[in-house]
Amino acid sequence: MEIKLSQLEPSELFKQIKTRIPNYIRNTFISTFILGLLFHFFMFTNKLPNHDDLGQLVDSMHRANSGRWFQFFPAAISSDFSMPAVNGILAILYISIAATIIVYLFNLKRAPYYLLVSAIMVSFPTIASTFTYMNAADAYTFSLLLACVAVLFAYKHSKFGFLFAIPFITLSLGIYQAYFGVMTALMLSLVILELLENKTELKEIVIMSIKFLFALIMGLVFYMIIVHLAATELTAYMGIDTMGQFNLKTIPSLIVGAYNFVYDFFFENSYAFHLPFMPTLFWLGTITVLGLLVYLVYRNNVYKEYPRLILLIVALVLLPLAANIIYVTAKTKVHLLMIYGLVIFFIFALALIRLAIESRPRKVSSRNLLSLGSIIICLVLLLSTYNYALVSNQAYFKLHFIYEQGYAYANRLISRIEATPGYNTELDIVFIGEETLPPLSLVNNYNQLLETGMPAVTGREIADAPQLKKITGSHTMVLFSNKHLVLLMRSYLGFNQPILSLSYQQLGANLLENAYEMSVYPDDDSIRIVDNQIVVKFSENR
């Protein structure tokens, strides 16, 4: 076909691309992007570092020893700097593209459905938790995008598409392993929908399922091979050095734990950030989904084909495990950053509504029940979006006060150091005490925090807010240890004198004798000059 030069003109190219993209895809992208900016506006327009981000203000994100050998590549797009307006907007861009892929996979062409997909994907608290680690946020969401692209290839592109999915699975895992659950949940959801629709031969669905499984396994295999090639030694942090090693005896209990985790998250409010009425609403949504499943099994004659029905039941039982597969594979306690796969439950419910409506029920009563079911599912997603957007901004609000009080504390400390008689910039500084802050458990006790002289969170209401305690990345204080205090002093207050942090066991005789005599900061006589060093005592010997 001959291509005219005029067709390559930018405005003409844009027009052609626009006409080839369906409206629902374009609208999904736009709505996700706008809602993402709206929900996370406060985070993008402020610099709110958590304890990790303090040390990652400038970081190339080379993390091969953590099994994240590809993380540096998407991180490089936004440069080495941790810039909320850049990293955050890129992250929303990647989520927006991922949302369009999911809407396309589930064929959700109606405006209420794709708008709700946009809203739930960009508001789920995993996203807010991700943004507290701002320098890594765009890389992590790029991993999500690659996970969705992998499923797109495996499901939509020819009989060999599953082979093209393998490198995308491998690369996604090479950035962040937590989105493996998104892939498994998406693939299993698509299998369930094919079984329910009953338009595809069972043999073809089985072959498709095998291809999905093959792609996932090979993606994991190639990922593990590259892990061991890219890193001479894996870090022991969170059990990464034992990645891929399983104790077969623990697998049954881990599987049970994965199911319990999902149940507790939705129905027992284990993360405490669901509004009081949400567990009841989730039960109502679950009953509606079960009703839709029964209706589709009957309406599409799935019950007449026993092998199809059995496979459907097995797939439905496995769906919670697929969405939360990280619980089985993780070497550490599962936290909020790792459970984005649960968002697929919301989207799967919308896909069931779409399938039920397309079945064109004959009876008026059936149509009325479907309308009611559609309203319930949409209401669940709408209120969940509100709940999640609200708690995300509460977490940002808390992080803001954590930073402000940490900054003020560090500023006062520097003022006290510089006011010490005999101070000069040539002297080294020594922090004595194993901890700058009390254990994290004391976050629950506002009075004990005040007694330490270190910042609490803010008022009792924020310090004790149960809905924020499991928002990973915002639940710890910015001055998590002496190391983080030094980082704050250097990066945010420009205080560059050499600082050592020592325990009592590391002190020389004269320094140890003075340390026992000194008060604990911020009391008077908690800062002295000893042996040409400025000594700050943060705690008694323990």
Pair of tokens at residue 350: 């919308």
Q: What are phi and psi of 119, to 5 degrees?
A: -65, -45
Pair of tokens at residue 381: 């997603």
Pair of tokens at residue 409: 């504390």
Q: Which long-range contacts (CB under 8 A, 24 or more apart) does 411-414 make?
A: 411/493, 412/522, 413/485, 413/489, 413/521, 413/522, 413/536, 414/489, 414/493, 414/495
Q: State the DSSP string of 434-462.
A: S-SS--GGGGG-HHHHHHHTS--SSSHHH
Cα gap 34→180, rounded to integer Å: 26
Predicted local distance difference test score (pLDDT) of residue 466: 65
Q: Is the dihedral of CA 431, 434, 440, 446 positive or negative?
A: negative
Predicted local distance difference test score (pLDDT) of residue 245: 62
User: Could you tell me if 328 and 266 lie in one domain?
Assistant: yes
| Mean per-residue pLDDT over the chain, rounded | 87
User: Could you tell me if 282 and 379 lie in one domain?
Assistant: yes
Place of tokens 């003020």: 408
Closest CA to 215 of 167, 182, 248, 247: 167
How many other CB atoms are there within 10 angstroms of residue 301's CB atom? 10
User: Could you tell me if 274 and 321 lie in one domain?
Assistant: yes
Q: Is the residue at 403 inside a domain?
A: no
User: Could you tell me if 474 and 510 lie in one domain?
Assistant: yes
Strand partners, 432: 502, 537
Cα gap 65→72, rounded to integer Å: 12
Pair of tokens at residue 162: 């599953």
Q: Is the residue at 493 inside a domain?
A: yes
User: Could you tell me if 341 and 441 lie in one domain?
Assistant: no
Question: How large is the angle between the packed helices 180-197 and 202-230, nearest 10 degrees?
Answer: 170
Q: Is the residue at 407 inside a domain?
A: no
Predicted local distance difference test score (pLDDT) of residue 366: 83
How many other CB atoms are there within 10 angstroms of residue 517's CB atom? 10
Distance of alpha carbon 287 from the chain centroid? 28
User: Could you tell me if 95 and 162 lie in one domain?
Assistant: yes
Distance of alpha carbon 468 from the chain centroid? 15
Distance of alpha carbon 282 from the chain centroid? 21
Predicted local distance difference test score (pLDDT) of residue 458: 44
Among 380, 396, 412, which residue terminates a domain?
396
Tally of domains in the chain: 2
Predicted local distance difference test score (pLDDT) of residue 414: 94
In three-state secondary structure terms, 217 is helix
User: Could you tell me if 380 and 434 lie in one domain?
Assistant: no
Q: Is the residue at 528 inside a domain?
A: yes
Predicted local distance difference test score (pLDDT) of residue 330: 80
The answer, as to whether pTM is greater than 0.85, is: yes
Q: Is the residue at 361 inside a domain?
A: yes
Closest CA to 170 of 217, 222, 212, 213: 222
Among 396, 414, 445, which residue terminates a domain?
396
Q: State the DSSP string of 352-389.
A: HHHHHHHT--SSHHHHHHHHHHHHHHHHHHHHHHHHHH
| Residue range 121-152, pLDDT digits in tens | 999 999 999 999 999 999 999 999 999 999 99
User: Could you tell me if 66 and 102 lie in one domain?
Assistant: yes
Specify whether the CB–CB gap between 81 and 145 falls below 8 A: no
User: Could you tell me if 354 and 431 lie in one domain?
Assistant: no
Instruction: Tell me, letter by letter, the H, E, C secondary structure of 55-124.
Output: HCCECCCCEHHHCECCCHHHHHHCCCECCHHHHHHHHHHHHHHHHHHHHHHCCCCCHHHHHHHHHHHHHC
Q: Is the residue at 363 inside a domain?
A: yes
Q: Is the residue at 2 inside a domain?
A: no
Q: Is the residue at 7 inside a domain?
A: no
Q: Residues in the chain with pLDDT < 70?
A: 1-8, 231-246, 434-467, 469-470, 472-480, 542
Specify whether the CB–CB gap between 396 and 48 falls below 8 A: yes
User: Could you tell me if 455 and 349 lie in one domain?
Assistant: no
In three-state secondary structure terms, 480 is coil
User: Could you tell me if 33 and 81 lie in one domain?
Assistant: yes
- β-pair type (499-502, 527-530): unpaired
Strand partners, 527: 536
- β-pair type (428-432, 499-502): parallel
| Residue range 509-535, pLDDT digits in tens | 888 889 889 998 889 999 999 989 999
Q: Which long-range contacts (CB under 8 A, 24 or more apart) does 484-489 make?
A: 484/51, 484/54, 484/55, 484/436, 485/410, 485/413, 485/431, 485/436, 486/431, 487/54, 487/55, 488/54, 488/406, 488/407, 488/410, 489/410, 489/413, 489/414
Kindly state the helix (H) or strand (E) to which residue 510 belongs, with its residue range. Answer: helix 509-517
User: Could you tell me if 106 and 179 lie in one domain?
Assistant: yes
Range of the domain at 527: 422-537
- What burial letters (b/e) apply to 144-175, b meaning 16+ CB within 10 Å? bbbbbbbbbbbbeeeeebbbbbbbbbbbbbbb
Predicted local distance difference test score (pLDDT) of residue 465: 66
Specify whether the CB–CB gap between 175 and 110 falls below 8 A: no
Cα gap 204→134, rounded to integer Å: 43
Cα gap 437→423, rounded to integer Å: 25
